[in-house]
Amino acid sequence: MLNKLTAHELLEKLEKKETTVNDIATALSSRIQEVDPRVRAYVRLAQPGQINQCGLPISIKDNICTEGLNTECCSKILEGFKPPYDATVIKKLKSAGIAIWPNKLNMDEFAFGSSTENSSFGPTHNPWNLECVPGGSSGGSAAAVAADEAIWALGSDTGGSIRQPAAFCGVVGLKPTYGRVSRYGLIAFASSLDQIGPLTKDVRDSALLMNIISGHDEKDSTSADIPVPDYTQALHGDIKGLKVGVPKEYFIEGMDPETRKIVDEAINKLKSLGAQVAPVSLPNSQYAVPVYYIIATAEASSNLARFDGDQYGLRKAGIQNLIESYKQTRGEGFGQEAKRRILLGTFALSHGYYDAYYLRALKVRTLIKNDFDKVFSEFDCIVAPTAPTPAFKIGEKSADPLSMYLSDIYTISVNLAGIPAISLPCGLTKSGLPIGLQILAKPFAEETIFRAAYAYEQSTEWHKLKPKL
C-alpha cells in the first residue's frame, strides 16, 4: 500500500515514474475512509472530487491557515471560517510541489490541551489503542501519520503539542527553534511560544520537511534571518564523540517505571554508538509548569480577545446590545478549557497581579533558558523522556486539569527557552503503547538533533512498527 510508505520513499518512486500522485492520493483516501471513522484524526472526510492530485500530499493541523479551506481551530467560535490567504508554510509547501490534503486534522480547541479531547469535533483516538488519547494538541496530526492516514503532517508546538502526541503515537515530531519556521498564518495561542513543525514516519522525512518550511519571513517579525542548511546532510549515522547530557531533574519519582526503563535503554544505545553520555542539571526546570501556565494563558487571553463573533465565525443572533452579543457569542463559542485559560490569563494580567504573576514568570523563564545555555556550553545535546507516562485512557484526566497539565512536564521547558527538540519512538510498553525519546539542542542546532536522532533510529526497529488497526 502506497500510503504506508514514507515521503522520501514515495518521492523516489515518483522520480522513477514507478507511481503517480493520483495513485498515492487514491491509496490515502481509501485508507482514511477505512479507518478514520474509528481514529477520527480528521475533522471531516474529503470527497474524492476535493482531492488536489498535483503533488505528494501533506495533511495540516486545523490552526494553520489555508486559503479557501475551513480553518477553525476545532472551535465553534470559528465555525465556517475560510481564510482568504495561505500561511507562509503552506505557500512554501505549494512552491515545493507538495499538495495540501483538503481536510484538516483534529486538535484541542485553539491548541489548549494534551489529549485532543478538547475539540468541538470530538476526541481523536490513539491508533495503538483506540481507548487511549493520541496526545495533544496535535493529536490528529500524530494519529493520522501513525495510522497511515497521512504521508506526513504539520502540527504546532506551544508546550509540547508536537512532541508529546508524537511520543504517544510512535512517530517522529520536531519542535524547531523559535523563529526558524514562520508563524505567519498560524492562528496564535501564545505568540512567544508557538512554533509550526513536522510530524513524520521517520527522521529523514522530518529533515526533508524542515528543508521546505524553514527560513526567514518578512511577514513574521519573530522570524530569524539565519541561513537554512540542508538538514539531510546531518543524516550520516555517526555520533562518535557527541557529548550528550542527561538531566537528573527529568528522572524523578512519579515517572512511569516502564517509561524510565525504555528511555534508559535508549540512552545506553546512544552510548554504544559512541556518544559520550554524562549527567547534567537543569535546576530551574522544577518551575517550568507554573511559569508556562502563567505566560501561555496570559498570551492566550490576549490573542483570543479578537474572537468576538463580529467579523467572522459564530455570532449569536437576535441580540441588539454589542456587549451582550460578545458575552453570548464567546460563552457559546468557546469550550470549557478555552474559557479556563482565558480566565487564568486575564487574572494574571489584571491590575495588582501583573507584577506578582506575569512579570515574575518572565524572570524565571530567563533562569530556565540560562540553565540550558550553561549545559549547551559543554554538551552538544540533551536526552530525556518526551512524556512521563505512555498514552492514558480517554476521559482519564479530563476532569483533572492539573493532572493533564503535568503530562507536558518534560516538554514545556523547551518552548520557554526557545530551543529545538525532537521526539522519536524508542520502545513499546508491555501493553503495546509507544514511548518517545526526546533530544534537545541549542538554538538553531537542528542539525545536531537530526544527527543524533537518525543514528539512534537506524540502529533500532521502533520506527518500523505499525499499530494493528
Q: Are 206 and 420 in contact (CB under 8 A)?
A: no
Residue 100 DSSP SS3: strand
Residue 239 DSSP SS3: coil
Residue 51 to residues 21, 24, 87, 115: CA-CA distances in angstroms?
11, 11, 20, 28
| CA triple 405-74-343, angle to 5 deg | 50
Beta strands at 276-280 and 56-60: parallel, antiparallel or unpaired:
unpaired
Non-local (6+) Cβ contacts of 207 within 8 A are 231, 232, 234, 235, 450, 454
- Report CA torsion sign: 104, 108, 110, 113: negative
* DSSP sequence for 420-459: -EEEEEEEE-TTS-EEEEEEEESTT-HHHHHHHHHHHHHT
Q: Are 152 and 205 in contact (CB under 8 A)?
A: yes
Q: Identify the active-site residue in 61, 91, 175, 201.
A: 61
d(CA 266, CA 452) in angstroms, rounded, equals: 12
> Is 104 a catalytic site residue?
no
Residue reference for cell 500522485: 21
Q: Identify the active-site residue in 119, 137, 182, 398.
A: 137
> Is 137 a catalytic site residue?
yes
Q: Identify the active-site residue in 114, 161, 206, 398.
A: 161
d(CA 98, CA 100) in angstroms, rounded, equals: 7
Catalytic residues: 61, 137, 161
